[in-house]
Amino acid sequence: QLQASGGGLVQTGGSLRLSCAASGRTSINQLTVAWFRQTPGKEREFVSVAVGSGGNVLYADFVKGRFTISRDSARNTVNLQMNSLKPEDTAAYYCAKRRNRCVGSACYNVDAYDVWGQGTLVTVSS
């Protein structure tokens, strides 16, 4: 199971840190975990992924340079540090894991992720 946390209300230019905690025996380092986001009436969109077992990290173009994904082995979490937040970043953010590793655009596919955490709401005020 995955549990997302860390959302909240922040002003434009502010920062938030989201956390996705994984339960079970598998180390977070072995898992491929991604963050997606969704706003009402729109499809869920890829934000970032940390590919398991030493794989790459990838970011959507609209968050490059502002968001950083990282793992915390001690806490078995994957975190998303979000800086320089904009009103258009307002969304429900979801973490998800998939059974296999991915490369490139294959990581963006929502349907390839089989376990999802509950959403955590991020609101950026202008």
Query: Concatenated DSSP letters for 5-65?
Result: E--EEEETT--EEEEEEE-SSS-GGGSEEEEEEE-TTS--EEEEEE-TTT--EEE-GGGTT
pLDDT at 53: 83
Mean pLDDT of 1-30: 94
Any idea what DSSP says for residue 84?
S
Model pLDDT for residues 2-16, shown as the tens digit of each residue:
999 999 999 999 999
Confidence of residue 24 (pLDDT cuts 50, 70, 90): confident
Q: What is the overall mean pLDDT for the chain?
A: 95
Model pLDDT for residues 61-92, shown as the tens digit of each residue:
999 999 999 999 999 999 999 999 999 999 99
